Amino acid sequence: MWHQVSYFQIINLNRDRFNIEFIFDAGVQMDQLEEAVKDFSDEYLLDQFTKHSEEYTPDALKLLGEEIERRKISSASEPEAGSGRKVRTGTLELDSEDFMKLDHYFTHTDVLLAVAMLRDNNLLFFIGNEASGDTIPLQSEASKRFTLHVHKSNLEEAHRLLDEHFDKADGLYQLRCSGARDRLKVFSFSDIRITDVEAKEKIEVVLSEDEKSVIIKYGNRLLSEADQIEEQQERVLFYYDCIEQVIESLESGKVLMMYRSDLLTILEILQVYCGEPDFPSDMDETISSLLGFFTEV
């Protein structure tokens, strides 16, 4: 979702919760995307197009722009980097040429942290993945490098924010003193792609009885608190349907042979509760090991 690939995420805001639908093989199922976009409210459609454009592939973003023009709620067109086109939102006019590329790259995990910081401070920016090589089409998320392009009016503030939290080394912004829980909090389940081979592969996982006990405790909590958690944290639980099976495996006492989806289920359970004051600090190593299957830590 942060870069140009053949899939994208569509988020429909229903009355009481998010409804996430993943569409694969976009070229074949573009009609499904067109129908989904028609259900967006005017406010949400414009917000996604103007403030979250970096989360959509070019084809998906183009459809958003076409729907905006069809409804005549804006004169905006696709905000394609480097095109020189202008995007008008109310009285604010933006030119892509006014966005300055920061001089260091980000890893997949660190760019999510940086994006959260910039958004929280209402800075204008977009994400690029110019450092990713086209000669390696099947790169893992861990090997990809991303750039941030910040509007010139926000450039000084962006540098100040990033310099507070990141060091610069070897051409990269590297999060300063980042713990496993900090990385887990911004871990994006929607960005994880698992190949058919990886999906069928079982991995031997070694967990202590204490680690199992913590995961089981929080897993059972999540089963009973799912609706409340989704509402309070404004999130969707991607692996809710897998929680009971994972708990059964952990309670079985057998050697743990798990699919990657099982590991993601455990990560999601821990992500929900890792911000609580009494979350066990000795789970940090467990979190770091699990994250290592999917991204750099």
Is residue 123 pLDDT above 90, yes or no? no
Find which of 105-109, 123-127, 167-171, 212-216 is predicted with most confidence, using mean pLDDT: 212-216
pTM given for the model = 0.53
What DSSP designation does 229 have?
H
Indicate if the pLDDT at residue 40 is higher than 60: yes
Q: For residues 290 and 70, which has the higher predicted lDDT (pLDDT)?
A: 290
The Cα 100–Cα 29 span in angstroms is 35
Domain boundaries, the chain: 1-78, 90-178, 195-291
State the pLDDT confidence band at 135, using cuts at 50, 70 and 90.
very low
Sign of CA dihedral 12, 13, 15, 20: positive
Q: How large is the average pLDDT for residues 263-291?
A: 94
Under DSSP, is residue 107 helix (H, G, I), strand (E, B) or coil? strand
CATH class, 90-178 region = alpha beta
Q: Could you give phi then psi for residue 172, rounded to 5 degrees?
A: -120, 145
pLDDT on residue 1: 27
| H/E element, 218 | helix 209-232
Phi/psi at 49 (5° precision): -70, -40
Please give the share of the chain, as a percent, with pLDDT higher than 90: 30
> Cβ(81)–Cβ(149) under 8 Å?
yes
- How far, in Å, CA of 20 to CA of 221, rounded? 23
Query: Which segment of 19-33, 67-81, 248-262, 274-288 scores lowest on mean pLDDT?
Result: 19-33
Average pLDDT across the chain, whole number:
75
